[in-house]
């Protein structure tokens, strides 16, 4: 099949997607061989029909009225890879701190625990690292409580400030009680104490 024909098929597919959507080279394999797809994607990148995010990963960029085309964030890329690989991921370290507002520094190198393949994704100035971990480290079912556990591990026992604790308890108020009860069992004891305060606060909040 001619490269031009493959390009047209790829363009038709990506134009049906909203701005910011991510694609993998293998998403287009039904249109031709891996080599032909790679060549077509290169040409489409040159024509600015789509942008290369990382090796084998492309995007139809979202356009901001002021900033212009915006590259997808690391979280969007990480989630897309996890979805493709049918893997679970959880943000750790500085990424968890930033997500909870405990740090204003946006990490350029983010780390996720995963039950998928361990790998590093180069996004130019940014990097994503997927670290293989045990099932227990991926067992949390609450998004907020999971972030809290990894943020507190990053801060460390005896080093958490009252202000940081206040911020964390504020977030835990927004976690579903059943999820928080489940996730408390997965945390080290010093973190459990903080999470129990959040659980107590949840149970005391009026629902009427």
The domain ranges of the chain are: 3-70, 86-204
Q: What pTM value is reported for the model?
A: 0.84
| H or E element at residue 162 | helix 162-172
CATH number of 3-70: 1.10.10.10
Q: Is 185 exposed, middle or buried (0-12, 13-18, 19+ CB in 10 A)?
A: exposed
Task: For the chain, 208 residues long, give each residue's pLDDT as a single digit of tens.
Answer: 566 789 999 999 998 888 889 999 999 999 999 999 999 999 999 998 899 999 999 998 888 888 888 889 899 999 999 999 999 999 999 999 999 999 988 888 999 999 999 999 999 889 999 999 999 999 999 999 999 999 999 999 989 999 999 999 999 999 999 999 999 999 999 999 999 998 887 766 655 3
């Amino acid at each position: 099949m001619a490269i031009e024909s493959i390009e047209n098929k790829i363009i038709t597919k990506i134009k049906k997607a909203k701005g910011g959507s991510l694609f993998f080279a293998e998403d287009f394999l039904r249109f031709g061989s891996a080599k032909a797809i790679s060549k077509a994607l290169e040409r489409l990148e040159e024509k600015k029909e789509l942008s290369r995010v990382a090796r084998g990963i492309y995007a139809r960029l979202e356009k901001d009225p002021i900033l212009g085309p915006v590259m997808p964030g690391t979280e969007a890329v990480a989630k897309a890879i996890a979805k493709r690989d049918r893997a679970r991921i959880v943000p750790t370290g500085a990424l968890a701190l930033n997500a909870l507002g405990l740090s204003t520094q946006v990490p350029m190198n983010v780390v996720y625990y995963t039950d998928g393949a361990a790998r590093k994704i180069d996004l130019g100035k940014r990097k994503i690292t997927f670290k293989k971990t045990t099932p227990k480290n991926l067992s949390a079912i609450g998004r907020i409580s999971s972030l809290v556990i990894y943020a507190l591990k990053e801060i460390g026992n005896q080093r958490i400030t009252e202000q940081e604790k206040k911020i964390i308890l504020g977030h835990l108020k927004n976690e579903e009680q059943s999820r928080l009860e489940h996730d408390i069992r997965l945390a080290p004891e010093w973190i459990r104490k903080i999470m129990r305060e959040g659980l107590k606060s949840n149970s005391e909040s009026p629902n009427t």
